[in-house]
A and B are shown apart, each in its own frame.
Chain A
């Protein structure tokens, strides 16, 4: 996965900066709390939520356990319906395939409906390098693109921007990309939305090539599903002559009937609506309606490596609803950018290090970007035990061990920066298995307690910067136990 934002610092550093940005924190707090309470209401409306959640989990788990079979079935049904299937092992290959397909149409611009997979692989930049301009058409994505910014939320990628900032971005940048913003544009949301409508409509009406992702792919029928609100998805899926969909291999469900689970749980978990304004499904191509050429690019890019991890593979159940972001106390304060990936929040903290591996500093830090409070697990509509995976990945970061990269088993070295932690644990193990040495050490510690520093030097400094060191007791517990016979004799 090439989606690391270039030059991204590790999470603690990025988060440290973000928490001092008062505007960002204000915007985020407002957003997450609003969606959070609306979601709780929408979920309470359906009495069988727990059963739907369990069914969603089981469908996804079953699919992942037989993924090769369903991938082949999907390929057959998409092909039978008039589509062409391409396989991409990594980001570079996917980008190459898409660029090639666009070039074959003779076009030099494409319209895109928000797709996390194409963000993950950096498709826009790859197309730009080939002389193809990709226009993001989701309002939030447009704000991000025009602002030369990065998305910070799965569902509402520009949530870190307030209306004043958006107005300024539109007024300044729209003319660079096409129709300029109207004169005297104010910062009311309806006026801003109207400006986006006019700006984008020009592009939709002339577009010959559309690029999309998909929320679901049905193996049985070859049907793809896109769930959205604005209609930009419908524009991209129906007006162009050629449609290219780039979709992660984990987005499969076996049957048409399975959609009945996810079309109930996704909207309520995500936008807290009974149903999102628009859902489009298409099966290959349809004569005289919509694109006459359809390409499906099936993307691996670290997904099979994630699948190989028996604990971590449950992250592939994710349906990208973003409920976990909105309840996360860490996300609320640190903001989406700190996660250094298109997948922010709790799900990002377990997905990015698995898709990309934990070699980089940011990826090694992500499993620690959590208080392990468990709220993310509670709200997850497919019951991903995010805390369990976080703890599992922390172990992998500290201890190293067997993992899979690009399909090969490799033994990971412990990540850098955790040497002190590891050394401390090793020392503890030795001390606890050598009682004599432990006793001597404890007595020494008690006798010298007046001289102990309040903070740790060297590698322990970061740990003690935010904590007080525990005071060493005047007498070691074991000495006290022996002296008083476990408290029976008179204590001091």
Chain B
């Protein structure tokens, strides 16, 4: 026997935890510490039967409200609101326990869950929503009992049937959620990002290639994007994002390419990709080298095949791209001057090497081969720590430290090529990716950001050259990380996240409109038969038939008799009709006259092969009510 009050207490606590969990990572440190403390102290206080004075809690609520109200601003809305909600919930933990308080806590936890969508649109929201619905429905059910009779006690059997009801109600509400999901307006990105502008900057493809900026590069394992496509050779996975075409003061930057130049991918093996681009700082959209066509909302593609999205950064966008796998971009003519521009001062030793190469080679291809020879004989190592910095970092990289990452390689190689008279440019993007067999897509993380070079070979076009490949240690980066049970588990989780993004987050107004249009078109295509008297008759007959069917179903005696017997059996403490026991025997277990009378009337009707009469039905229902009342009392 359990008192509903006790269960309500537990359910409310569970609902609060589920409501606050998705919001928790985004709260202030103060709220994050206070919440668990409040929950624990609330439990202790209630167990000891202490009552905190209401006035103290009210004052605390008011103080918290004002302290956060002052922080509100036009660009700081969500964070104070979320913290305020969380702290009100924390105070609720410690307050008195009444039905009103339980309802307040339920409402606050729903608000907290809703507030979490201001910060992130993760699949965890869906789980939390379903769990929270279940807990709140259960709480409401129990509250109705508790409010009717404070002293009521429920046995295991009754609790079980209440639990079933709660599960049912939650289960029924899920299809409704789906309907609302389809029709209600939505955003594709957390609103918080819309208020706050750009989020935190991550490593990855940046606006400039500046090898000497720090001694180590930060590697973030965060996902940069996922590309739905067939599995291909990981060696070919060069994801092209951006082209840097001017070198100025230690960094490669991007200028608008000459307007006459239009690069084309060479026709060949086509690969279609659907890329889901995570929100980040980059507005350059990735596609496999060489991109034929890149399509995304509000995106433009320049002559050197760089696709830029104007609303970049905060949006999780979907890109449709078609590429051909190759290393050469065809182009009729380029502005050689533009791609040969160099700053007035180059590192002297680098310039000397370039001049020597220029003196020995004749054609563009020979010059590239000579530069390659120089890189290989220099025995450069690929490294991401203890990198050369400072003004002469490229000199340091090539001749002293002899180690660096892709930016060093690409940067110095492009400079040597330009000095030697070969037009060159640095390409930024990603290299590699882990293929997810379940979802059929590549996951590319931020730490695989890469830079390489394109050189112009006269009569051929832009040729991809990756100088990092000439180093020792480069082979380790790339696609060889698909091992271990944790990795496989995270792949599985990633698959779920992927589908969540692919189907839920990117579902937007456009999809809604197209769905509505399709539905409209389908409706128009349905040909309604003419309303002749014959069709009307048929329709009437059909409707009557359906109604009759349901009426018969409802009043079929056996069925209703069965239902009342099952109700009695459940009330007697059996989940289903027990084996080897008839209704008369079950009735004797009650040691109660009403039960015996019920069984006698019921058996007397059905074991005489006749239906239960109306009067009997009434009496049976009355007896059942008596027994229910008896059961709930004891």
The answer to whether A and B assemble together is no
